[in-house]
Amino acid sequence: MKKRVFGILASLVAILLSVSALVSVFSIPASAADGEGSSVRFGSSWMTGGSVNGVYFGTYSQSSDGNGGYNKEPVLWRVLSNDGEKFFLQSDRIICGEVFSTVADARWDACTLRSFLNGNFLNDAFSEAERNYILTTALQTDGTNDTQDKLFCLSLAEADNSACFPQGNASRTKTMTDYVSSLGVINNWWYLRVPTGSYNYVKYVDSRGGLYSGSVKMNVVETSGVAPAFNMSVSQVLYMSAESWTTGNGLNAVPSYSGNNWSMTMRDNSRSGFTASVVSDVKITEAGKELKIRYSGARSGENEYVSAMLLKNGKVIYYGHIAQNSTEGEATLTVPQELAAGGYSLRVFSEQDNGAKATNYASEFQEFNFAVRDPAANPKLRINETTNEWEISYDDGASWTSLGVKATGTDGKDGSDGMNGVNGKDGADGRNGLDGKDGVNGVNGKDGADGKNGLDGKDNMGTPWLKPVAVTAISLAGVSLIGLGGWILFLVFKRKSIL
């Protein structure tokens, strides 16, 4: 019986779906994949340390502009480690130049370089928004007091950590920028934050990445290259993009990427008011059809967009801007003609897209799931054993989309007890009984016996009224002696006899 019901339901749903190209369904669970191999990847847990991968963050004067000035360009930072909570980053190049100290024999806690990094450099290299993502780090340094710093130079132990620099000297080798060279720095050396036992000297890493070449004077400009480091929270990294890839208006195909350097888009909590929805809640469509997105709470201004990403199994395959400089409205996107039948996810969000290698900011994703159907194909149905929901497939079972309908319902709750009934009204009086039937007539009385002849009356002796009565009585007796009348006459005659 159960199989028969399943078959009937499956046939009905299949017919309905084949009639309409746009049928509203509920969302399917999003894939947990981060998008390996794509130019757009989510989160940061996949990024390894060891100085192999790099992220762009902040800007600083670097290359020459050819006119005596220097271009302020995105700064690339090597990921020394990623512990799942924070990136430990160091600049890929010698990014700035500053003497360790202008005071002889200074230590890290009181040196000129520490003040420069956490003052002028911090404010020049990072925007106010970027500074919020830089963590304050508690530092312990040999020969000096403990400090709390945003930016710092590496210690000898950190520079000698094989997990951070697995290739040894080769991992630590760096080159200076045009701007640093203009400051008079002549060697590709960079400071550690560790003074030596010798008066007015500090340890450094030489141009070959070596650690134990000796020390340099604290106040010599020629050897004052700096490769700063800091810790950054990774919980706010929403997604990353390949370093040189940018998108445009509409949904654009996202190329594959196997490189190691990435731009970061950070989660911007001030955009929490952004909302989006698919008009008419359409979630089954066809390639080439349009989807309308209604949005509100977006930002207006320079580089402000409402953007959308199209995903297949958690991997971004299309990405682009669907509205610009608009806080609310309705945007239209076209489902790419090349999409094969199957299940897809659409992520819509508000973002400030500042371009390749820049730091970008975005709201949380508003996610919608839909299926692309092939009009010539017959869909398949199944019940998901985990969710107990009906699912549909347009690609012969390769991917499934939930219809949001439970295959079996849950038991209903027991009803509450009913209230006591109201007392019934008194019944109406009964009707009067029918009249009784007439009684049967009595039997006729027997004829009375003949009266005796009266005595001859004496002359002038009779009572004057007796004679007519007697005559009348005799006459009546002759006619009929029935019932009570007969008995009366009988008594009269009895009285006569007595008299």
Per residue in 189-208, pLDDT (tens digit) is 999 998 887 778 999 999 99
pLDDT of amino acid 460:
42
Which has the minimum average pLDDT: 281-285, 342-346, 361-365, 437-441?
437-441
Which has the minimum average pLDDT: 348-357, 379-388, 412-421?
412-421
H or E segment and range at residue 433: none
Q: Are 201 and 213 in contact (CB under 8 A)?
A: no
Q: Across residues 89-94, what is the average pLDDT?
A: 98
pLDDT at 446 over 60: no
Which has the minimum average pLDDT: 131-135, 250-254, 339-343, 423-427?
423-427
**DSSP classification of residue 109:** G
Q: Provide the pLDDT confidence category of residue 22 given band limits of 50, 70 and 90.
A: very low
pLDDT at 393 over 70: yes
> Could you give the percent of the chain with pLDDT greater than 90?
60
Which has the minimum average pLDDT: 4-18, 128-142, 302-316?
4-18
Q: To the nearest whole number, what is the mean pLDDT of the chain?
A: 82
Phi, psi of 492 (to 5 degrees): -60, -45
pLDDT of amino acid 52:
96
Residues 6+ apart with CB under 8 A from 218: 99, 100, 101, 104, 105, 106, 111, 195, 200, 201, 202
Q: Provide the pLDDT confidence category of residue 11 given band limits of 50, 70 and 90.
A: very low
In whole angstroms, what is the distance from residue 38 CA to residue 260 CA?
A: 12
Q: Provide the pLDDT confidence category of residue 421 given band limits of 50, 70 and 90.
A: low
Structure tokens at 203: 């340890």
In whole angstroms, what is the distance from residue 235 CA to residue 238 CA?
A: 8
pLDDT of amino acid 256:
94
Q: Which residues of 95-131 are buried (b: 16+ CB within 10 A; e: fewer)?
A: bbbbbbbeeeebbbeebbbbebbbeebbeebbeeebe
Q: Provide the pLDDT confidence category of residue 374 given band limits of 50, 70 and 90.
A: confident
In whole angstroms, what is the distance from residue 214 CA to residue 155 CA?
A: 15
Q: Helix %, strand %, coil % for the chain, to 5?
A: 20, 30, 50
Phi, psi of 348 (to 5 degrees): -115, 140
pLDDT at 383 over 60: yes
In whole angstroms, what is the distance from residue 336 CA to residue 324 CA?
A: 21
In whole angstroms, what is the distance from residue 140 CA to residue 143 CA?
A: 9
Structure tokens at 263: 């731009």
For the packed helices 483-498 and 466-479, what is the interaxial angle rounded to 10 degrees? 140
Beta partners for 149?
Answer: 137
Q: Which residue has the tokens 């989309």?
A: 401
Q: Across residues 378-385, what is the average pLDDT?
A: 87
How many Cα neighbours within 13 Å face the side chain of 121?
23
pLDDT of amino acid 217:
86
pLDDT of amino acid 191:
94
pLDDT at 63 over 60: yes
pLDDT at 450 over 80: no
pLDDT at 27 over 50: no
Which has the minimum average pLDDT: 129-133, 212-216, 356-360?
212-216
pLDDT of amino acid 58:
98
In whole angstroms, what is the distance from residue 119 CA to residue 408 CA?
A: 64
pLDDT of amino acid 216:
86
Q: Are 286 and 335 in contact (CB under 8 A)?
A: yes
pLDDT at 59 over 90: yes
pLDDT of amino acid 2:
47
In whole angstroms, what is the distance from residue 30 CA to residue 311 CA?
A: 9
Q: Which residue has the tokens 């989160």?
A: 43
Q: Are 322 and 293 in contact (CB under 8 A)?
A: yes
Q: Provide the pLDDT confidence category of residue 430 given band limits of 50, 70 and 90.
A: low
What burial class does residue 284 get, using C-beta atoms within 10 Å of its C-beta: 0-12 exposed, 13-18 middle, 19+ buried? Answer: buried
3-state secondary structure of 61: strand
Q: Are 200 and 217 in contact (CB under 8 A)?
A: yes
pLDDT of amino acid 285:
92
Q: Are 140 and 158 in contact (CB under 8 A)?
A: no
pLDDT of amino acid 418:
64
In whole angstroms, what is the distance from residue 273 CA to residue 271 CA?
A: 5
pLDDT at 426 over 90: no
Q: Provide the pLDDT confidence category of residue 404 given band limits of 50, 70 and 90.
A: confident
pLDDT at 364 over 50: yes
Structure tokens at 370: 């839909």
Q: Which of 98-107, 240-249, 456-465: highest mean pLDDT?
A: 240-249
**DSSP classification of residue 121:** I
In whole angstroms, what is the distance from residue 407 CA to residue 385 CA?
A: 10
